[in-house]
Amino acid sequence: MRLRKMLVFAAALLFAASTLSASQAKPVDLTGTWTGTLTRSTGEEGPAHIVLKQKGTEVTGTAGPGPDRQVEIANGKVTTVKGVTSVTFDATQPNGTVMKFDLKVVEGRLKGKATAEANGEKREGTIDVGRAK
């Protein structure tokens, strides 16, 4: 009887371990082209075009309103906490304004905030981009 209980316990433990590992989120590879919209705090919408290259937790690439107007990104980092993948990076515009991006993977899209500070004025917007086809 004791052997039977031990076998049942061992089987239950193995099942629980396999279920746990199967439910853990796989790392998301953000490499690729992402397109969508940037909505400013005024409600004005414009295009957003982001090209990311991910190596581990480091992200490089470009960002801008379209493929013909891109600037290099810096300080790119990907993190996954409790199954939520986030990416942060900066993009310095030609006029010297630094835009800071803080995005999360939501249902296969990158969504979040973009903030910029220029001439003592802080501007914010929301980004919603999906993988380009």
- 3-state class (DSSP) for residue 13: helix
Give the count of domains, the chain.
1
| Position 8 in a domain | no
Dist CA 76 CA 32 (whole Å): 14
Whether 37 maps to a domain, the answer reads yes
Per-residue pLDDT, 81: 93
pLDDT digits (tens, 9 = 90+) for 58-86: 999 999 999 999 999 999 999 999 999 99
What's the confidence (pLDDT) of residue 95?
Answer: 87
Is 93 within a domain?
yes
Enclosing domain of residue 98? 32-131
- Tokens representing residue 63 in the block: 């960002």
Distance of alpha carbon 31 from alpha carbon 53, whole angstroms = 4
Does residue 22 lie within any of the structural domains? no
Residue 49 counted as domain residue = yes
Q: Which residue has the higher pLDDT, 97 or 87?
A: 87
Q: Does 19 score more than 70 pLDDT?
A: no
Q: Kindly indicate the confidence band of residue 16, based on its pLDDT and cuts at 50, 70 and 90.
A: very low
**pLDDT at residue 86 in the model:** 97
Quote the CA–CA distance of 12 and 83 in Å, as a whole number: 25
